Amino acid sequence: MLQNRAYRSLLAAQVVALLGTGLLTVALSLLAYDVAPGSAGAVVATALTIKMVAYVAVAPVVSALVVGLPPRVVLIGSDVVRLAVAATLPWVDEVWQVYVLIFVLQAASATFTPTYQALLPTVLPDRDDYLRALSFSRLAYDLEAVVSPLVAAAALLVVSYHGLFAGTALGFAGSAMLVLHSRQGRAATGSSETGPLRRRLTAGVRLCASRRELRAVIALHLAAAGATALVLVDTVVVARDVLGRGDDSVAVALGVFGGGSMIVALVLPRVLAASTERRVMLTGAVAVVVALAVAVVATSSAASWPLLLITWFALGAAGSAVLTPTGQVITAVVGEDERPAAFAAHFSLSHACYLVAYPIAGWVGQLAGVPVAAAVLGVVAALAATVAAMTWPAAEPATEHEHRGQA
């Protein structure tokens, strides 16, 4: 797989772009403190909300607007926009400017990611190679969460946080160059969906609604979102307030969560060689439900540090089992010309799940306590897993490269 020049370049582009995004997250926090020192937390929280709204709203729109364009042109264009925004951010001095630029940047990311995902199965037509590529993508996201803060901390020893914006811009520039370098003899083209803009806008959603497997995948993503939301939102509360530990314990707990995700992503290609995506993803969803039930205790006054780490590891592993095979399911049930719209719609709908999970983890956790939030998320995950199991028949595993159009 790594001998494929096009894939090597695309993977490297994803990695450096993610590194740039990670540096931007740290720099944005410091910029918010300068621009609004009394409400930096609120500014960052609003920026993250804007990010999620951009992900949900923009991906299907852009997918409709770029119909017919070669994917590499779309990828490079997205990187150029992100580079321009990163280069502009150091000069802002108003909160509203931060919000506008973050929306533009995340809109470009919402264009890059589904286009990249739709291109991979064309670059890697062999199923085993593609499954390994999905694992590598999952590892790239997990490593970004671990490595980027370390790189940012090292950089801040010698430069101001404005230097992190320069690093972000370099990351997006490098990504664009690597995508350009990935050209093959046969250039892939974008979606063939034509017709009125309104029809193109809903093409991906109609695909997801018409395929039982894809409807089930969205339900499973809601279960996985509960695991991620509990960890990202409430780790600091449990570690500091419940267990009375220091700041370093927050980083350790988040690292353990990422470690669980990475380990499962590494072993999944071998597991999927002997099993189906349906079985693996439903098993992961059940594991999320069990881990969230344990989290009710692990986040309570009866909690202990080892129990919390074990639970966080299990949540990371279970979530990865749900999320990693998704690309293979989409590729198996839609035609090649439908992939851009399908991946864009999935990107949007799956991120909409976090607009449900994050408020539960945050608001319910604040009003009623983290254990109650874990219990509510567990109930939501259980319902989502049940819907997925009923929607996705066991007799029709999505393991074959064919286009099935059943309703």
The predicted structure's pLDDT at residue 405 = 41
The predicted structure's pLDDT at residue 286 = 97
What's the pLDDT tens digit per position in 319-335? 999 998 888 888 888 87
Considering the segment(s) 5-180+197-201 as one domain, its CATH architecture is Up-down Bundle (1.20)
Residues 6+ apart with CB under 8 A from 97: none
What's the pLDDT tens digit per position in 343-380? 777 878 888 888 888 888 888 888 888 899 999 999 99
Query: Hey, how many other C-beta atoms are within 10 angstroms of the C-beta on 20?
Result: 26
Please compute, for residue 192, the number of CA atoms within 13 A of its CA located in the half-sphere on the CB side. 6
Phi first, then psi, for residue 398 (nearest 5°) are -90, 70
Which DSSP symbol is given to 241?
A: I
Whether 362 and 233 have beta carbons less than 8 Å apart is answered as yes
The predicted structure's pLDDT at residue 252 = 81
Buried-state track 326-347, b at ≥16 Cβ within 10 A, e below 16 = bbbbbbbbbebebbbbbbbbbb
Which DSSP symbol is given to 157?
A: T
Q: Which residues of the chain have pLDDT under 50?
A: 185-194, 196-197, 396-407
In terms of DSSP H, where are the helices of 182-276?
197-201, 203-210, 212-236, 247-274
The predicted structure's pLDDT at residue 43 = 67
What three-state secondary structure class fits 324? coil
Shortest CA distance to 89 belongs to which of 150, 52, 43?
43
Considering the segment(s) 206-391 as one domain, its CATH architecture is Up-down Bundle (1.20)
Shortest CA distance to 21 belongs to which of 132, 124, 147, 133?
147
User: What ranges do the domains of the chain cover?
Assistant: 5-180+197-201, 206-391
The predicted structure's pLDDT at residue 188 = 46
Phi first, then psi, for residue 205 (nearest 5°) are -65, -40
Distance CA 176, CA 94 (A): 29
Distance CA 300, CA 279 (A): 32
Tell me the pTM.
0.75
What's the pLDDT tens digit per position in 124-151? 888 788 878 877 887 777 777 667 666 7
Whether 137 and 10 have beta carbons less than 8 Å apart is answered as no
Buried-state track 270-285, b at ≥16 Cβ within 10 A, e below 16 = ebbeeebbbebbbbbb
Distances (CA, A) of 30 to 26, 41, 240: 7, 10, 22
Query: Hey, how many other C-beta atoms are within 10 angstroms of the C-beta on 31?
Result: 24
Question: Where do we find the tokens 């189906």?
Answer: 276
Same CATH topology for 5-180+197-201 and 206-391?
A: yes
